[in-house]
Structure 1
Amino acid sequence: MRLPAEAVAATALIEVVRISGLPTAPGAPYPGGTAALWTGNGAADALTLIGTLPGSQQHRCGFSPGWGIRAYDASLEPALFEAAFCFTCHEVRMHGPAVPRALAQQFFDPDTVEGRALLARFRAQVPGPPAG
Structure 2
Amino acid sequence: MQLPAEAVAATALIEVVRISAVPAERGVPYPGRTVAHWAGSEADDALWLIGSLPSSEQHRCGFSPGWSLRAYRESLDLALFEAAFCFNCHEVRMHGTAVPPMLDTQFFNADSAPAHALLALFRAATP
How does the TM-score come out when normalised to structure 1?
0.94
| Structure 1: stretches of 5+ with no match in the other structure | 128-132
Would you identify which runs of 4 or more consecutive aligned residues in structure 1 move more than 6 Å? Answer: none
Q: Deviations over 1:18-70 (max 9, x none)?
A: 00111133311000000100000000000000000000000000000001000
Q: Deviations over 1:50-92 (max 9, x none)?
A: 0000000000000000010000000101000000000000000
**Whole-Å separation in 2 of the counterparts to 1:27 and 1:95:** 5
Number of aligned residues: 127
* Rg larger for: 1
Secondary structure at 1:102's aligned position in 2?
helix
Secondary structure at 2:33's aligned position in 1?
strand
- The equivalences for 1:9-28 within 5 A come to 9-28=9-28
**Whole-Å separation in 2 of the counterparts to 1:110 and 1:25:** 25
How does the TM-score come out when normalised to structure 2?
0.98
Identity across the alignment (%): 69
| Structure 2: stretches of 5+ with no match in the other structure | none
Per the alignment, residue 59 of structure 2 pairs with 59
Secondary structure at 1:124's aligned position in 2?
helix
**Whole-Å separation in 2 of the counterparts to 1:26 and 1:53:** 23
Per the alignment, residue 125 of structure 2 pairs with 125
Per the alignment, residue 70 of structure 1 pairs with 70
